[in-house]
Amino acid sequence: MKKTVLSSIVVYIVFSVVFCLYIFNWADTTIPSGYEGSASDPATFMNEKELLISEEFSKIKNALYFLSTPYEWLLLFILLSVGLSKKFQDWAKGTVRFRPLQVFIYLFWITLFTTVLSFPFKLFGYNVSKDYGISVQPFNGWMKDYMLDFWINYFLTGLIVLVLYGLMRKSPKRWWLYGWLLSIPFTLFLTFIQPVFIDPLYNDFYPLKDKELEEKILSVADKAGIPAEHVYEVNMSEKTKAMNAYVTGIGDNSRIVLWDTTLNKLEDDEVLFIMAHEMGHYVKKHVFFGVVSYTLVSLVGFYLIHKLMNIIIRRHGHRFNIHDPKEVATIPLFFLLLSVLSFLFAPISNTVSRAHELQADTYAVELTKNPEAAVGSFQQLTKSNLSEVNPPFIVKLFRYTHPPMVERIHYLDSYELRESEK
């Protein structure tokens, strides 16, 4: 196992070097010749310094993502391979007799292990955002959010693990099916409570303060058939200079949310387009579709994890000193398989998401009839967020839930031409 661990570390280092070369030297991010000089060409709305900073920032963030994800896999593999997972399990059993507490004690130690060793990546990402003027959040505020993430994820993960491993003990062959069935109401529950109870733990949410703008939004919302109470403003200017807007929740808990930075930097017509875009998600039920599709995909995921865990423990369990998938010590293996499968599925889910975003763009420009405001809003978003206008293919495949800005701006810029040709 020592040789296997060393080999894994060497593979990770080689991968990191090759991928950094791809991101920083080999990948082509130039604007297609047909777009040069158009509204989608960043050279037409960004100066030379902004272009350079945007390119540098995007490359660093992309490299950080693709290096941190396999690094987390490596940590989980090390937990299994060197016997730490088994030792944490024995330690928890020796501490208390009550099994649920054993699970939470064990989970605390492996969560602490992975969190501490992953912290340099998180800290580097925070510092990069600060250095490039995206984040304005003080370090103590960032650490507060980081610790809040730790405890929320820890307790939610503990509940999930407790239920799943309880099902494994009672039904080794069918636990994956029962776990999937239970995940449906749990997913719906989280989707309902997130916008109301979890999101406000991080930021302040309140109705729009600008009443004149509110009246304009109410008019657009009325055309879309959306109740006005689904529009919220969130105080993000104390943390970031970036802009954003999103739709979250389902049913009566659905919320269309605008960052105050978006309100501060965009003209009213541009804000109305952004709002119309988010209304498009609401009208076309993209959040609901996302929950349903996630539920169906998770069924396949549960089944694959069940099969793969059995195969791995049967063939290699003796190397980990683990002989039964039902042992709590297999949790790192469960998380590892879940993360790898999620990563491999990302290109498919991102493709669907990009299609939804294009539908929302189309809905918004047809609702507002103002392609100039649409183009202007995306140009300003690109500048404020230091977005990469035309990302490398692999980055787009695995990271981009939205179409690249070069595509979105070009689509909106040519809207009037397409309409006139109909």
Measured CA angle at 239 (ends 236, 240), to 5 deg: 80
CA torsion through residues 70, 73, 78, 81, sign: negative
Residues 6+ apart with CB under 8 A from 223: 367
215 classed as catalytic: no
Strand blocks (E) in 238-326: 245-248, 255-259
Instruction: Please give the helix or strand (H or E) that residue 85 lies within, else none.
Output: helix 84-95
CA torsion through residues 150, 155, 156, 157, sign: positive
Which residue out of 212, 214, 238, 278 is catalytically annotated? 278
Measured distance CA(344)–CA(335) in Å, rounded: 14
Measured distance CA(373)–CA(39) in Å, rounded: 12
CB contact burial 361-398 (16+ within 10 A = b; e otherwise)? bbbbbebbebbebbbbbbbbbbbbbbbbbbbbeebbeb
Describe the crossing of helices 48-81 and 84-95 by its angle, rounded to 10 degrees: 70
Do the Cβ atoms of 282 and 226 come closer than 8 Å?
A: yes
Question: Of how many residues is the chain composed?
Answer: 422
| Catalytic residue numbers, as ranges | 278
